């Protein structure tokens, strides 16, 4: 992970810095219209609701709230620091936590005793990258 300049609590990043940091830390995220964004594809409504609730918990715990677009088989997350009117460390830190939790696959991790979701269409959950 790259060492980023230390910013003030609400200091915003330049567009170039945002693009570089996304490429380095959050390659599935992109910058568009002043927001950093990520679309999570799910297997259907039940999985979509689990993703929304997970993001909701993380956002509330962080006290930094994304905009969400929710549909049957996807959730789009948009982050921007409204008070700072741009992208700040808060956005990157919450995006990293969301990515870590949503993309977690315990059955893939070595040395993990958890099996993870079965490879059966009846139990499909997230469409992992």
Q: How many CB atoms lie within 10 A of CB 87?
A: 24
Domain limits at 82?
29-103
pTM: 0.90
What per-residue confidence (pLDDT) applies to 123? 84
Residue 1 scores a pLDDT above 50: no
Token pair listed for 111: 């040395």
Residue % of the chain over a pLDDT of 70:
92
Q: Could you tell me the pLDDT band of residue 7, with boundaries at 50, 70 and 90?
A: low
Alpha helices by DSSP H, 1-129? 15-25, 45-62, 89-102
Q: What is the number of domains present in the chain? A: 1
CA distance 18 to 92: 9
* Residue range 42-69: mean pLDDT, rounded: 97
Confirm whether 40 is domain-assigned. Answer: yes
The CATH number for 64's domain is 3.30.1360.20
């Amino acid at each position: 992970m790259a060492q980023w300049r230390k910013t003030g609590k609400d200091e915003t990043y330049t567009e170039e810095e945002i693009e570089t940091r996304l490429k380095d830390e959050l390659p599935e995220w992109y910058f568009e219209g002043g927001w950093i964004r990520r679309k999570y594809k799910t297997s259907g409504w039940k999985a979509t609701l689990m993703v929304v609730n997970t993001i909701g918990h993380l956002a509330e715990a962080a006290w930094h709230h994304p905009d969400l677009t929710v549909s049957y088989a996807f959730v789009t997350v948009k982050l921007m620091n409204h008070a700072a009117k741009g992208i700040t460390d808060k956005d990157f830190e919450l995006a990293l936590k969301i990515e870590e939790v949503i993309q977690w696959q315990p059955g893939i991790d070595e040395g993990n005793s958890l099996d993870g979701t079965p490879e059966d269409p009846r139990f499909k959950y997230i469409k992992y990258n």
